[in-house]
């Protein structure tokens, strides 16, 4: 089974989508501040899940 089939990874991807949609409405001056930080944090969730899954299955 791939990490992409895991419910928790799918929810992490959904979190990313929500964060990107939310931060679209932020002021452009925040693009390299809080916007960037929120987006990077949300991307790290499914990335860390995939990394951990890879360690367990290798």
Instruction: Give tens-digit pLDDT for 44-53.
Output: 999 999 999 9
Which pLDDT score is estimated for 51? 95
Give the separation between CA 4 and CA 1, rounded to whole angstroms. Answer: 8
φ, ψ for residue 57, nearest 5 deg:
-110, 25
Count of domains for the chain = 1
Q: What is the CB-side half-sphere exposure of residue 30 using CA atoms within 13 A?
A: 11
Q: Quote the domain boundaries for residue 18.
A: 3-56
For range 32-42, the mean pLDDT: 96
Which pLDDT score is estimated for 57? 81
pLDDT band at 1 (very low <50, low <70, confident <90, very high): confident
Which residue spans within the chain are E strands per DSSP? Answer: none
What is the per-residue pLDDT across 5-30, written as a single tens digit (0 to 9) for each? 999 999 999 999 999 999 999 999 98
């Amino acid at each position: 089974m791939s990490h992409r089939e895991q419910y928790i990874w799918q929810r992490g991807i959904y979190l990313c989508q929500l964060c990107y949609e939310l931060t679209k409405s932020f002021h452009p001056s925040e693009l390299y501040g809080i916007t960037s930080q929120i987006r990077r944090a949300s991307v790290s969730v499914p990335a860390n899940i995939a990394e951990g899954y890879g360690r367990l299955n290798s």
